Amino acid sequence: MGKPVIYFLLFANLAFSAVAQSNFVTCSNGQTCTPHYDCPDITAMTSKGHLTPEEKQYLKSKHCNKVKVLNYFCCGNEAPQPKPTVTEPLPKTTVTQSSAKQFFPEPPACGSYQQDRIYGGQNTNIDDYPWVAQILYSRPRRSIGIHCGGSLINQRWVLTAAHCDIMIKQRVNYDIVGVRLGDWDTRTNPDCQQLVNERVCNVQYVEVPVEKIISHEGYDMHSRNQYNDIALLKLQRDVVYTDWIKPICLPLTSDLRDIDYTGHSLDVAGFGKTSETENSSPVMKRLDIDGIARNKCQQYYSTQNVNLDDSQICAGGKKDEDSCNGDSGGPLMKYGNFPNSLAAYYMLVGIVSFGPINCGTQDAPGVYTRVSEYMDWIENKVQNS
């Protein structure tokens, strides 16, 4: 990443004073309108990932903030949603939605964003992007190193790029051995950040060995097109979700898979180089980039003998704005209110694949593997591995 375009979001507490109390619904039975992460009943329900229709209705009934970008729920001593009494056998029903929902969490159990934090430029806060993974490699005659990123998609699986497995192994003989989760500053463990009114510290990061590496069968490291640049890492054990380790949402339904991201504001995050001449960043960085139409992107890559297809997304292309080396395999994300969601959340749109030789070249967008094109492949591998 080069020098970013700096912009700022307002403090959430200042926003609250501007929108007034009318944005919050009055809770009954002595309950209070509370952020979802501070409500044990809500977090217990959502942490399991898949929600039943009854649980979704319960969450909807407890949602107490009219501003959809914030997940606030009526919280207190009231017991979670009562189980329905079954008086007769239920008839068998035909499943019409993607069975991927059996394996992957749905919002608000994924893609959550702590809105009440300072946000600006390419800096992240200590609890931002808790799904960002760092991939650990064994290196001949050297210590364990980190050379790619990834995204936690459930308690057992991390999604990354196939070139992070095949190309790195072939070219420098590095082998993927594990994944680090919950890290924000590679210089310290645990990490702390001084915010305006508080000092926030996380817990020690977690390193989990990788049990199985599944790179896409159609990936060819020698191809300039880099189609099928996607891989799954199965961890040796389930990870426990915390404030610092959470999954990102996937495009599980057809309406989410069909979104055209041209002109959309997208996020990339990772520990890659902050400019073409600098080393990897010790602190997680992020950048806001725009989705680019594929035909416009193709104009540049045709000069490089690269042919793009529907399985790829282009983004960036402004001077000094790009994901750089070290961000390979990391997430390209969209934050927003998606269909049928209670509130805004992050969804995984792409995986960092490749870009121009010089990071942040004007009119040379980065290329990302489009996750929605591979949901059937992802589901099949997770279900059968």
**Among this protein's residues, is 50 annotated catalytic?**
no
Could you give the CA distance from residue 216 to residue 352 in angstroms, rounded to a whole number?
Answer: 15
Please report the DSSP string for 354-366 in residue order: E--SSTT-TT--E
Catalytic, out of 36, 147, 163, 216: 163
Q: How far apart are CA 141 and CA 151, in angstroms?
A: 28
Phi then psi for residue 217, to 5 deg, are -65, -25
* CB atoms inside a 10 Å sphere around CB 207: 15
Burial of 18 (0-12, 13-18, 19+ CB in 10 A): exposed
Q: What span, in angstroms and rounded, lies between the C-alpha atoms of 276 and 356?
A: 11
Beta bridge mates, 159: 151, 232
How many angstroms separate the CA atoms of 176 and 168, rounded? 9
| Catalytic one of 151, 328, 353, 372 | 328
Largest CA distance in the chain: 69
Residue tagged active-site, from 183, 191, 229, 267: 229
Task: Please answer whether residues 98 and 372 qualify as being in contact, where contact means their C-beta atoms are separated by less than 8 angstroms.
Answer: no
| Residue 193, φ and ψ in degrees, nearest 5 | -140, 130
Per the annotation, the verdict on 220 as an active-site residue is no
Pairing of strands 231-235, 206-215: antiparallel
Tokens linked to 382: 């997770």
Active site residue 323: no
Q: Are 330 and 132 in contact (CB under 8 A)?
A: yes
CA dihedral (21, 27, 33, 36) positive or negative: negative
Residue the block writes with tokens 């989705």: 291
Q: Which DSSP letter does residue 152 get?
A: E
User: Which residues have a catalytic role annotated?
Assistant: 163, 229, 328
